Amino acid sequence: MPSYKAPIADMQFLLHEVLKAPASALPGYGDLEPSFTAAVLEEAGKLATDVLAPLNAVGDREGCVLENGTVRTPTGFKAAFDAMKEGGWTALDCDPDYGGQGLPYLMQSAVGEIFVSANMAFNMYQGLTHGAYSAIHAHGTAEQKAKYLPKMVTCDWTGTMNLTEPHCGTDLGLMRTKAEPQDDGSYKITGQKIFISAGDHDLAENIIHLVLAKAPGGGEGTKGISLFIVPKVMVNDDGSLGARNAVSVGKIEEKMGIHGNATCVMNYDGATGWLLGDLHKGMRAMFTMMNEARLGVGLQGYAVAEAAYQNAVIYAKDRLQGRDVTGAKNPTGPADPLIVHPDIRRNLMEQKSFVEGARALTFWGASLIDAAHNGDKDADGLIGLLTPVIKGFQTDKGFETAVNAQQIYGGHGYIEEQGMSQFARDARIAQIYEGANGVQALDLVGRKLASDGGKHVMAFFEMVKAECKAHDGDARMTAFVEPLKTASKQMQAAGMFFMQNGMKNPNAALAGSYDFMHLMGHVCLGLMWTRMAKAALVCLDEGRGDKSYLETKVATGRFYMARQLPLCGAHLARIESGADTVMALDAEAF
């Protein structure tokens, strides 16, 4: 069975040497002293290693079961959920006014990674609750906040997000679920929602469903959509629980992975709901949550990959097979460990350099969200630009990494007992939900690049340029700066191609959108590796920190720059080939 250990040294390095969090003026950052963050991460790591990780395979094997209309979660999930609640882990970055601990979203993300690595399906129950909490916190009335948030902060009540319907996924304008206004100010919600993660379960006494539905008078398409609070069990004015609402589970979906999380068909049969935010402005209310939710999915991408990577390393060191071609490394044993073989190394280095780069990008992204919440418009623009990359690129590469980790195991990786298949199957969903990755690419190229007159992407290029300039004359940084410069220029050339061709033919840009998302992903990770390498070299120069860790960090970065940044040229060539070959065929020709 796979094991997991929180990568605390790497997280501390990011928080303190790269981001220098305590030096930031952002609210709460001043408290993030190394000893404090280490203590938090170590406690989270213990819970993850001892409680959550051992349940990961259990959840996969048992799945969730619908019995008499309610969902039973896998053995041990309830006790683990209680341990999570008791540890205060559900309240980390929540508003102290409602019982939260008020830590920055950055810390929430670091702890979140640990829990997701240990047990992605389990962590979704609180992850979805956090999303619903944020929506109510941002758009609820004072009364709504007082009524729901304290219980959601503790996860005594959990939350869900209800968007998708059988015939409508990305295109929410096709939505059919209806909201009929009632005399008492409530609405009757009627319709079917599908793919509702944590839609029902036995972990909490109530579930607060947030449901998109069409109320009268809003017009066609997405314009008519509003967001509603629909509790599973009605909440009385004194906060006590009342009658069951008219919402029920139609079935649990059988999925490729994340079996431990109940993905439900939810039926709303005239269920009582209350408007959240403005009437007919439900899409806007959802979208304010989007950066955070998509960053969370991008985090899942590399967090599952991290767990898979850790186990691939253990196996590669342990499994004896073949001999090092340059001379036996284990001459007294029957064979050398797998890790001596160059192609095994190539594979492991791809995994390691991706995961550490993605962690840096995600932590940086989380700090931008903190800044944006604090009114920083530039940070808000930048995280808007980065979000589709963090979501799309990181989940694609995260899945690829999990598959590569599985490959290290050879035939044993295909056997469910070993647990490597689960990492691949679980990681797969992150490429799909919260906007399939093709939709992320469309968002990036069709919307974010040009938003505010292209201001944010220009700022990003300036940032990369400044980073490169800062290391002028530092020969140790050449292996970082040169590939980053090249890749950044390739990204600019791609942007130029879109500008020159996209106006007269939008397809010329959109046909290259997926490649652009990956091109930009490599530039982002190249930027992260440049920053990390510099931070590590500074530590080495100043004689601070673990020398071996720091040298490994620089070497891992050099691998990424030498081996992954060359892909940017290929992405550019594909982009510049335009839409002609992509759109050449009639639909009938497929």
Would you please indicate which residues are annotated as catalytic (active-site) residues? 434
Segment 441 to 500, residues that bind a second copy, using CB under 8 A: 441-442, 446
Q: Are 15 and 111 in contact (CB under 8 A)?
A: no
Tokens of 332: 């007294």
Long-range contacts of the stretch 69-73 (C-beta < 8 A, 24+): 69/248, 69/249, 70/200, 70/202, 70/249, 71/199, 71/200, 71/201, 71/202, 71/249, 71/252, 71/262, 71/264, 72/201, 72/202, 73/201, 73/202, 73/203, 73/260, 73/262
* Nearer to a second copy among residue 367 and residue 556 (C-beta): 556
Give the nearest distance from C-beta 76 to a second copy in angstroms.
20
Choose the stretch contacting a second copy; rule: CB under 8 A; options: 149-157, 229-237, 337-345, 370-378: 337-345
477: amino acid identity, one letter: M
What does residue 180 show for φ and ψ, rounded to 5 degrees?
-105, 125
Give the nearest distance from C-beta 564 to a second copy in angstroms.
8
Tokens of 486: 């090249």
* Nearer to a second copy among residue 122 and residue 399 (C-beta): 399
**What is the C-alpha to C-alpha distance for residues 478 and 486, in angstroms, rounded to an integer?**
12
Tokens of 29: 């950052």
**Count of residues that interact with a second copy, criterion CB under 8 A:** 96
The answer to whether residue 161 forms part of the interface with a second copy (CB under 8 A) is no
Cβ within 8 Å of residue 129, ≥6 positions away: 90, 152, 155, 157, 158, 159, 198
The answer to whether residue 352 forms part of the interface with a second copy (CB under 8 A) is yes
Task: For residue 176, give Cα distances in angstroms to 127, 165, 192, 418, 439.
Answer: 27, 8, 8, 44, 22
Residue count (the chain): 590
Choose the stretch contacting a second copy; rule: CB under 8 A; options: 3-11, 25-33, 184-192, 417-425: 417-425
* Nearer to a second copy among residue 335 and residue 459 (C-beta): 335
Tokens of 558: 């050099």
Give the nearest distance from C-beta 28 to a second copy in angstroms.
34
The answer to whether residue 325 forms part of the interface with a second copy (CB under 8 A) is yes
Place of tokens 């647990």: 419
The answer to whether residue 321 forms part of the interface with a second copy (CB under 8 A) is yes
Q: Where are the alpha helices (DSSP H) in 21-104?
A: 34-47, 53-62, 77-86
Among 9, 233, 335, 450, binds a second copy (CB under 8 A): 335
Tokens of 175: 């939505």
Q: DSSP letter at 416? A: G
Among 46, 328, 410, 546, binds a second copy (CB under 8 A): 410
Among 8, 168, 233, 450, binds a second copy (CB under 8 A): 168
Classified as helix, coil or strand, 566 is coil
Among 140, 413, 419, 521, binds a second copy (CB under 8 A): 413
Choose the stretch contacting a second copy; rule: CB under 8 A; options: 24-32, 117-125, 240-248, 406-414: 406-414
* Nearer to a second copy among residue 102 and residue 578 (C-beta): 578
Strand partners, 207: 158
Among 346, 377, 465, 547, binds a second copy (CB under 8 A): 346
Segment 45 to 84, residues that bind a second copy, using CB under 8 A: none
* Nearer to a second copy among residue 280 and residue 428 (C-beta): 428
Segment 193 to 232, residues that bind a second copy, using CB under 8 A: 194-195
* Nearer to a second copy among residue 152 and residue 427 (C-beta): 427
Among 20, 167, 244, 377, binds a second copy (CB under 8 A): 167
The answer to whether residue 171 forms part of the interface with a second copy (CB under 8 A) is yes
**What is the C-alpha to C-alpha distance for residues 409 and 402, in angstroms, rounded to an integer?**
12
Choose the stretch contacting a second copy; rule: CB under 8 A; options: 31-39, 147-155, 211-219, 423-431: 423-431
Give the nearest distance from C-beta 261 to a second copy in angstroms.
12
The answer to whether residue 290 forms part of the interface with a second copy (CB under 8 A) is no
Choose the stretch contacting a second copy; rule: CB under 8 A; options: 16-24, 161-169, 230-238, 525-533: 161-169
* Nearer to a second copy among residue 24 and residue 507 (C-beta): 507
Give the nearest distance from C-beta 94 to a second copy in angstroms.
29
* Nearer to a second copy among residue 317 and residue 469 (C-beta): 317
The answer to whether residue 27 forms part of the interface with a second copy (CB under 8 A) is no
**What is the C-alpha to C-alpha distance for residues 202 and 123, in angstroms, rounded to an integer?**
15
Closest by CA position to 226, among listed 191, 177, 278: 278
Segment 547 to 586, residues that bind a second copy, using CB under 8 A: 548, 552, 555-556, 558-559, 562-563, 566-567, 569-570, 573-574, 577, 579-585
Give the nearest distance from C-beta 49 to a second copy in angstroms.
19
Segment 230 to 269, residues that bind a second copy, using CB under 8 A: 253-257
Closest by CA position to 214, among listed 178, 171, 246, 185: 178
* Nearer to a second copy among residue 31 and residue 62 (C-beta): 62
The full 3-state SS of 113-164, as one line of letters, equals: HHHHHHCHHHHHHHHHHHHHHHHHHHHCCHHHHHHHHHHHHCCCEEEEEECC
Cα–chain-centroid distance for residue 282? 23
Binding mask 174-193 for a second copy (x = CB under 8 A): x-------------------
The answer to whether residue 437 forms part of the interface with a second copy (CB under 8 A) is yes
Q: Are 73 and 203 in contact (CB under 8 A)?
A: yes
The answer to whether residue 395 forms part of the interface with a second copy (CB under 8 A) is no
Among 185, 334, 375, 453, binds a second copy (CB under 8 A): 334
Place of tokens 């059919």: 176
Q: DSSP letter at 37? A: H
Tokens of 545: 């920190």
Give the nearest distance from C-beta 274 to a second copy in angstroms.
27
Binding mask 507-546 for a second copy (x = CB under 8 A): x--xx-xx--------------------------------
What does residue 287 show for φ and ψ, rounded to 5 degrees?
-70, -25
